[in-house]
Chains A and B, each alone.
Chain A
Amino acid sequence: MAYPTTNSASRKRHVPRLKFRDERIFYYLALGPTTIVIAFVIALPIIYTFALGFFVQNTLIRTWRFAGLSNYSDLLTDADFWIAFWNGVVFTVGSTAVATVVGLAIAILLDCNFRGRGPLRALVIFPYIVPSIVVAFIWKFIFSGRGILNDFLSFIGAQAVSVPWLGDQRFAMMAVILISAWTWFPFAAITLLAAIQNVPDNIYEAAALDGAGPVRRFFHLTLPLLAPALMVVVLIRAIWAFRNYDMIWLLTKGGPIGATEVLPIMAFKEAFGLFRMGHASAVSVYLMVFVTLLAAIHFRVGARLRQAYDTS
């Protein structure tokens, strides 16, 4: 076996060696450009926003005044801020719950064997790929005072309950939650379908032999085995919902009378309606803190669940 040895040795001599004494220098160089880009497009705006919160600044009359922590502390006693916060919580919990439950039901349905399953799987994706602006128009059309929903209600003789759904303080949040859930259930359905298909069939067969009927199989096997995927769906959805701006803005602009005003809408109105950049920045910073907390839970709990429910 002398030949390959000499061959590889002679080949080695032609390989240009890295000149770096320390490998770490190479890593820093490799990561450097990305770090700089991230610093400019992510870190810098965050720091700038955070700093803006310490000033009273009016973009219209261009005044700057250092205000210390007053923007931050004022918000904590501002009733509107807390209303927006709780609206955000209601919207997040509501739309996440509806999207996840509907998504799970659809995922289970799509896992069953029936004719037309393939086209249906493709169709389910539809709400997810429609741009927000189109979704908003479709649903505004359905939910408006003279929309399809009310036409239908009067058709079945229930004129009494026909209201301008998005324009009524009592129903606006519910309508926004449903519409938002409609755009998001495909994500839940597809993610959960993939997770369901990952569970080996013979676990269910073993359970069937062990005496578990379909309902008990669902609660004792499907649900626990889907826990990691459910956690991902719920937390990602929650993070997105809490900072959601476009859908609510397009549907109600936070109205009527603040019924659907959430923190991102409040920040937008403060900044570009009232031109109070300091205030708006403080709202944004609080929003960022809440979302970061959700993200932290996502990474912590998600990792633990994935480890605990490893099906391999």
Chain B
Amino acid sequence: MVQVAFSSVGKDFGKEAVLRDVEFEVPSGCFVALIGPSGCGKSTLLRMIAGLEHIDYGEIYIGGSAVNHLAPKDRDVAMVFQNYALYPHMTVAENMLFTLRMARCTREESNNRMWEAARILGLENLLDRYPRHLSGGQRQRVAMGRAIVRNPKVFLFDEPLSNLDAKLRVQMRAEIKRLHQRLGTTMIFVTHDQVEAMTMAEQVVILRDGRIEQVGTPIELYDRPTNVFVAGFIGSPAMNLLGGTFEKVHGQHCFVPQNGVPIPIPPGTLVGSENVSPGQKCLLGIRPEHITLPGPGPVPEDDETYGEIPAEVALVEVTGLDTHIVASALNGEITILIRGRFDTVAGDKHLIRLNFPLAHVFDAETGERLD
């Protein structure tokens, strides 16, 4: 069943369109992440679901009925704000009870629901504290508690983790995910952090300049980005994009980088490239983790699915778990990610291998995927 649906939703701020033709559906109980760079309209879209922003075009449906003209309180959604928006003059318990008081719940029912939420979030010992006495993580939990007690159809999260330090963020990430598994309620989560989106969400919606670029599972986004923007946005370090054309050279299908030496592509390994007309400008996208250096890694010498190109190491970054190498090759820079340690220094020359079956081909002009 569809819980939240968008039908050609749009919004203008003055003359500027901030959202255009937004169209997607959120299945009931699904955890959806809205992700995109700053100013892409993701928070505005979330606020439109909540009723805090006017919907200029199109319609938003919650639980099957259009909510365009409903007040925020009548939409049966709860929202967790980036800076928590707790009521500073109320204790933790009062913060959570406020919505139930407004709904004129009985005292007993309110208390039961408040205690239940407090138990789920581990807030039992903080109920008589004021928000100013709480740490960031605790405030975050209270904000979630305030959302939970209402038992809404949809939870909305507006970058709830961005005010927390890195360690707490990872912890709260897991907590929100666990909460979702436990409650099974539809959740829509806005973030600009792709790791949050990839790790938490079942569906990810990527927005840019007010338009949806792609909707899919995290794996779909990673494996089959529909365009250059998504390809570059998902994955860290970002995907390498090499400009060039696909041509037949001496009877063999090759990728010809700009002003570079043709790289032969073993037949059948790069599906997208085979339908490209000769001379058409393309971008060959390859993730840093799909490039290997001889030596470590499981690449057998005679594996024909790899293309080899010469590269000179420019920079080596060791994270402990991985080694990131920035190398100059094909008249540009290529980032390579190697699992584990790799002993090399700037200036070293290597033959690097591109794993063509995992590479992507995009039209250089439209940026769209070609297969």
Contact = CB atoms under 8 A, between A and B. Distances in A.
Interface of A: 200, 202-203, 205-213, 216, 220-221, 224-225, 227, 308-312
A210 B150 CA distance: 8
Interface size class of B (residues with CB under 8 A): 20 to 34
B85 interface: yes
Given A207-B98, A209-B73, A209-B99, 18 more contacts: A202-B81, A202-B83, A202-B85, A203-B85, A205-B85, A206-B146, A209-B51, A209-B72, A209-B77, A210-B73, A210-B98, A210-B99, A210-B146, A212-B102, A221-B87, A225-B88, A310-B132, A311-B88
B79 A206 contact: yes
A307 to B, nearest CB: 9
Nearest to B147: A209
B234 to A, nearest CB: 29
B52 A211 contact: no
B79 A209 contact: yes
Interface in B84-126: 85-89, 98-99, 102-103
A208 B85 contact: no
Contacts of B77: 209
Contact of B88 (A202, A205, A209, A309): A309
Nearest to A209: B72
A208 B77 CA distance: 11
A285 to B, nearest CB: 40
Shortest Cβ-Cβ A-B pairs, 8 listed: A211-B102, A210-B99, A211-B73, A206-B85, A202-B85, A208-B72, A311-B88, A224-B89
A205 B73 CA distance: 10
Given A202-B81, A205-B81, A210 B89 contact: no
Contacts of B146: 206, 210
- Among B50, B77, B88, B150, find the residue whose CB has the most chain A CB atoms closer than 10 A: B88
B102 A208 contact: no
Most chain B beta-carbon neighbours within 10 Å: one of A202, A216, A310, A311 = A202
Contacts of B79: 205-206, 209
Contact of B52 (A205, A220, A308, A312): A205
Contact of A211 (B88, B99, B132): B99
